[in-house]
Amino acid sequence: MTTNTPSKVHVTTTINGQQHELLVPGYMSLLDTLRELIGLTGTKEGCLDGNCGACTVSIDGRIVDSCLVLGAEVDGKEVSTIEGMATPEGLHPLQQAFLEEAALQCGICTPGFLVAAKGLLDNEPSPSEGRIRHWLAGNLCRCTGYDKIVRAVQKASS
């Protein structure tokens, strides 16, 4: 049995509009690729098994748990993270609404909620409360009890 470390994978990917060329170990998650290789630590590690949504990012406009994606898989794809939401001109409307509605306490789940909510509003600008709650079922928050988060998403929707 070979004990050699498997070779790394050459990945060219766009992250928040910027192209990156990376050598990624085949077994490295997208979460670790973002945090450890690129230094984008806004995406948080929570449960590491797809239950909590803290590590939510979007790939080609679809939200995913980045702990359950390999970095090697995003070759040729466009990844968006929490760092891509605000602009030099100001916060994203969802971020502003989270502040105004006090939709966070400890904040560890917040980047995941924001990226997930953006994934909804980008495609459905005026979702119902039920639709928002269903969409965000894959994101867990242990502080707020969700009502403030849902209100913030409603406030940011048109």
Binding site for another protein (CB under 8 A): 2, 5-7, 9, 25-27, 29, 48-51, 53, 56, 59, 62-65, 67-70, 72-73, 116, 119, 133-135, 137-139
Q: Which of 61, 100 has the CB closer to another protein? A: 61
Tell me how far apart the alpha carbons of residues 84 and 75 are, in angstroms, rounded to a whole number.
19
Q: Which of 87, 126 has the CB closer to another protein? A: 126
The distance of closest approach from Cβ of residue 59 to another protein in the complex, given in angstroms and rounded to an integer, is 8
Q: Which of 56, 81 has the CB closer to another protein? A: 56
The distance of closest approach from Cβ of residue 70 to another protein in the complex, given in angstroms and rounded to an integer, is 6
The distance of closest approach from Cβ of residue 90 to another protein in the complex, given in angstroms and rounded to an integer, is 27
Decide: helix, strand or coil at residue 70: strand
Q: Which of 23, 106 has the CB closer to another protein? A: 23
**Beta-sheet strand order (sheet of 18-25):** 18-25, 8-15, 78-80, 56-59, 62-65
Q: Which of 62, 107 has the CB closer to another protein? A: 62
Q: What is the dihedral of CA 51, 30, 106, 150, to 10 degrees?
A: -60
The distance of closest approach from Cβ of residue 96 to another protein in the complex, given in angstroms and rounded to an integer, is 23
Tell me how far apart the alpha carbons of residues 32 and 52 are, in angstroms, rounded to a whole number.
16
Q: What is the dihedral of CA 18, 153, 35, 29, to 10 degrees?
A: -100
Cα–Cα distances in angstroms (integers) from residue 102 to residues 113, 156, 157, in the given order: 13, 13, 16
The distance of closest approach from Cβ of residue 43 to another protein in the complex, given in angstroms and rounded to an integer, is 13
